[in-house]
Amino acid sequence: MKVTMVIPSYWAREREVGCKEGDAIYDHPTPLDSEGTLLRAIQSIEKLEDKDFQLVILAVATAEDIENQVEKKVANIIQLSNPGVEVLLFGHSHLKQIHELLISEGEKEYNDLLQLRGYANIRNLCLFIPHVLGSEVAVLIDDDEVFEDPKFMSKAKEFVGRSIGGRTVNAVAGYYLQPDGDYHVKKPFRPWMEYWDQYDRMNEAFDKIIGTEPRLKETPFVFGGNMVIHRNLFTVVPFDPDVPRGEDIDFLINARMFGFSFFLDNQLSIKHLPPPKTHPTWMQLRADIYRFIYERAKIERQKEIKGMTRVYPEEFDPYPGGFLKSDLEEKIEKSCNRLSEDYLAEGDKEGGEEALRNILIAKTDAVPKYDPFQRLCKLQKRWRELMEWTSKREVRSSIEEIIRGE
């Protein structure tokens, strides 16, 4: 069984330059003048007993004018590493060559499906690259993680593609261990969280799925940096680029709509050591508002289509289901009003105003102006066509030559 592990690595302008208008926004891209966490992640692969896989590093730049610098930076980091597996670099220069190939073959209409900008697009490349490299399984890891379990890869391969209890396992979810070695999310309680109980619901879901037997069970949540996906799924269902963040759980919802379930393995863990988030609370909350309103609309707009499965918010309880129901606006209003009061009490007028703006945004800009379900169906059809076309031996070998730099 051929396996490809893909690790995206996000890079921004040098620290003193900062972010410019038009730059892509990610949680914590590494400034070009610092080392970041990628080398640590690659080096931790040495711990793994099973090294029968290839590793691809995606070099993601936040802006077009630093793409070459980012590729050089990541190439240098790969050279410094010695993980004991084959390592390939995939950057913006490789993507441009693939786009040129599609244009020359008269398949230009698929270029928009392959982009190195935005979380969901980048995850789609984490599926596309293993596909063209001829892999049966894609393992998705993030660069702010480290392997601690020597048996991680043997566990990752153990169930995927097999039939368990009469059901085929096409997707396995692992989970994160926090720096203290526990799987619970630990955030200091703030009054606004009484109404926006995201961390409580997450921990409730984690206890229910991770903290109990059996080892493998169907899950309503998944972590983007610890996913194992079989080609039966990744050649059929893509990540949805219209979701601004939370693309991992959104992918789980999409997969469920097309008849695929994720199974969480409560022994498949990886240590998560993210740098601190720098965005203010109102901004993080706003991103979640956009995401949950979009996902709820996608679920609400479902139609009976042959071969598809209708899903309901309750199937994703306690998380994310608790944020996909009719009381979402009430949660937003109460939590943002309280968050605004907290900001004003600290003398932060701008923060208070932005928190209140979230309530308006939830009723206006966050509401999709199109049918997200219909758009997903069109996206899925095009993704499937792209996967079929790139399955042709001559096409695949041309793309593999680009990826290998041959």
DSSP per-residue string spanning 10-33: EEES-TTT---TT----SSPEETT
What the block records as the tokens of 97 is: 């060559």
Confidence of residue 1 (pLDDT cuts 50, 70, 90): very high
Enumerate the β-bridge partners of residue 58.
8, 90
Contact 132, 56 (CB under 8 A): no
Statement: residue 278 has pLDDT above 90: no
Torsion angle in degrees (nearest 10) through CA of 111, 112, 114, 118: 160
- Across residues 305-326, what is the average pLDDT? 97
Contact 252, 205 (CB under 8 A): no
The DSSP H or E segment spanning 139 is: strand 137-141
Mean pLDDT of the chain: 97
Q: How confident is the model at residue 77, as a pLDDT?
A: 98
Question: What secondary structure letter does DSSP report for 369?
Answer: S
Domains and CATH numbers, the chain: 3-275+369-399 (3.90.550.10)
Q: How confident is the model at residue 276, as a pLDDT?
A: 83
Q: How confident is the model at residue 388, as a pLDDT?
A: 98
Separation of alpha carbons 291 and 176, rounded Å: 21
- Across residues 377-383, what is the average pLDDT? 98
Max CA distance (Å), the chain: 64
Statement: residue 279 has pLDDT above 90: no
Confidence of residue 215 (pLDDT cuts 50, 70, 90): very high
Separation of alpha carbons 90 and 125, rounded Å: 10
Statement: residue 277 has pLDDT above 90: no
Cis peptide bond prior to 318, omega within 30° of 0: yes
The distance in angstroms from the start CA to the end CA of the chain is 25
253-277: b (≥16 Cβ within 10 Å) or e: bbbbbbebbbbbbbebbbbbebeee
Contact 159, 215 (CB under 8 A): no
Separation of alpha carbons 27 and 36, rounded Å: 13
SS3 state of residue 214: coil
What the block records as the tokens of 366 is: 């966050």
Torsion angle in degrees (nearest 10) through CA of 76, 79, 83, 86: 110
Q: What percent of the chain has pLDDT over 70?
A: 100
CA distances from 168 to 258, 350, 367 (A): 14, 51, 36
Q: How confident is the model at residue 272, as a pLDDT?
A: 98
- Across residues 310-321, what is the average pLDDT? 98
Cis peptide bond prior to 214, omega within 30° of 0: yes
Contact 124, 135 (CB under 8 A): no
Counts of helices then strands in the chain (DSSP H, E): 13, 12
- Across residues 120-136, what is the average pLDDT? 98
Statement: residue 352 has pLDDT above 90: yes
Amino acid at residue number 367: V
Confidence of residue 97 (pLDDT cuts 50, 70, 90): very high
Statement: residue 406 has pLDDT above 80: no
Of 247, 281, 285, 300, nearest in space to 361 by CA:
285
Separation of alpha carbons 274 and 122, rounded Å: 19
Q: How confident is the model at residue 301, as a pLDDT?
A: 98
Statement: residue 177 has pLDDT above 90: yes
Residues in the chain: 406
The DSSP H or E segment spanning 11 is: strand 3-12
SS3 state of residue 361: helix
Q: Which of 24-28, 91-95, 107-111 has the lowest mean pLDDT?
A: 24-28
